[in-house]
């Protein structure tokens, strides 16, 4: 296993190295769930390393490289369990439309042997996206000038795939769901009355939470509810670091893993998926190629068991 650095405890293992090389040495059917955002098909460059998927020469080469990751995740995952991939449409250069990156990921996973299980759309606020991306298709002045070049603040997508086979360790919730991760206010009185309710059939709080999670359109994700990441930036990359929201990660962890399962991420970034696993009594496994991201992940993950960290650690700017 070729790694530059690593930290292994009873609750998590994190590696600074190439995910494909690290995963190669991990035991088969040891992972209960994986969650991650792959580089978005050449949209951004994160480092100068040839091992970095974001440095593929073209879109097809990106998927040739990404195949190795998807195949090894299939091998590592327990039968009947999930991998969750965060993705979005990728804009083409020169006002030539967009590329269906999520669709290509779906077709790739099915070709490799995963079952396509679900897709969730994650809403993004148009004005904030316009400010961040400077996309002229989102600018009001483009409506005034020529609306044939206008488009929308495209959703992010959570793509869920299931490994074929019987899940021998059912993911049960005997009393229903009790933790809501999102910005919507729980109906008045519901939490107080049903917080410790034992009957899942009559637990109105659990039913309400499930109704939010079961929707295919997640418009209640706190977009800036993320771990600190600004310190991980450096001059060699585009100014794009924005971790996956903890609301999305925690929903995946709660829905598709059991306590003490290993939750893995091959593109760890600043540690969000490992953090989300630890605060929900799972074990974390993270791999990150970029040194500055790994160092920030080490700091973030080290705070995972601090009650204050769960309130103050988030980067809300």
Q: Is residue 201 part of a domain?
A: no
Confidence of residue 307 (pLDDT cuts 50, 70, 90): very low
Q: Is residue 124 part of a domain?
A: no
Distance CA 238, CA 39 (A): 13
Q: Which helix (H) or strand (E) holds 276?
A: helix 272-278
Q: Which domain holds residue 280?
A: 3-119+158-180+221-312
- Quote the DSSP letter at residue 306: -
Distance CA 163, CA 83 (A): 8
Q: Is residue 192 part of a domain?
A: no
Which CATH number does the domain housing residue 61 bear?
3.40.50.150
Under 8 Å between Cβ of 40 and 98: no
Residue pLDDT, tens place only, 221-259: 999 899 976 555 555 554 445 689 999 999 999 999 999
Radius of gyration of the chain (CA): 20
Distance CA 242, CA 284 (A): 20
Q: Is residue 34 part of a domain?
A: yes
Residue pLDDT, tens place only, 50-96: 666 766 778 898 999 999 999 999 999 999 999 999 999 988 877 78
In the block, residue with structure tokens 């977009």: 223
What is the rounded (10 degree) CA torsion for 306, 310, 315, 317?
-130
Q: Is residue 202 part of a domain?
A: no
The percent helix, strand, coil of the chain (3-state, each to 5) is 35, 20, 45
Q: What predicted TM-score, i.e. pTM, was given to this entire model?
A: 0.89
Q: Is residue 210 part of a domain?
A: no
Q: Is the pLDDT higher at 217 or at 39?
A: 217
Q: Percent of the chain at pLDDT above 90?
A: 69
Q: Is residue 280 part of a domain?
A: yes
Q: Catalogue the E-assigned strands of the chain.
A: 3-8, 12-17, 31-36, 77-88, 90-91, 98-99, 115-122, 156-162, 217-218, 262-265, 283-288
Q: Which two tokens stand for residue 188?
A: 């008045």
Q: Is the pLDDT higher at 224 or at 213?
A: 213
Q: Is residue 205 part of a domain?
A: no
Q: How many domains does one find in the chain?
A: 1
């Amino acid at each position: 296993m070729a790694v530059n650095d690593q930290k292994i405890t009873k609750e998590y293992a994190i590696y600074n190295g190439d995910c494909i090389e690290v995963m190669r040495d991990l035991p088969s059917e040891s992972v209960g769930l994986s969650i991650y955002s792959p580089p978005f098909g050449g949209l951004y460059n994160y480092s100068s390393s040839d091992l970095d998927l974001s440095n593929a020469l073209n879109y097809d080469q990106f998927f040739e490289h990404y195949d190795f990751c998807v195949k090894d995740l299939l091998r590592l995952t327990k039968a009947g369990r999930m991998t969750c991939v965060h993705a979005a449409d990728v804009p083409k250069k020169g006002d030539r439309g967009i590329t269906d990156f999520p669709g290509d990921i779906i077709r790739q996973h099915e070709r490799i042997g995963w079952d396509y299980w679900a897709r969730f759309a994650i809403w993004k606020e148009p004005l904030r996206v316009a400010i961040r991306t400077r996309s002229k298709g989102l600018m009001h002045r483009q409506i005034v000038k020529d609306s044939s070049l206008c488009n929308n603040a495209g959703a992010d997508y959570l793509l869920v795939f299931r490994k074929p086979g019987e899940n021998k360790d059912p993911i049960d919730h005997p009393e229903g769901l009790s933790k809501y991760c999102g910005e919507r206010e729980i109906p008045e009185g519901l939490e107080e009355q049903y917080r410790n309710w034992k009957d899942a059939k009559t637990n109105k709080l659990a039913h309400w939470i499930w109704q939010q999670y079961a929707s295919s359109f997640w418009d209640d994700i706190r977009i800036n509810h993320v771990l600190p990441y600004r310190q991980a930036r450096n001059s060699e990359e585009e100014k794009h670091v924005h971790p996956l929201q903890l609301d999305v990660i925690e929903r995946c962890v709660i829905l598709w893993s059991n306590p003490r399962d290993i939750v893995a991420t091959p593109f760890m970034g600043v540690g969000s998926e490992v953090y989300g696993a630890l605060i929900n009594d799972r074990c974390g496994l993270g791999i990150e190629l970029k040194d500055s991201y790994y160092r920030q992940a080490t700091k973030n993950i080290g705070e995972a068991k601090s009650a204050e960290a769960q309130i103050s650690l988030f980067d809300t700017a």
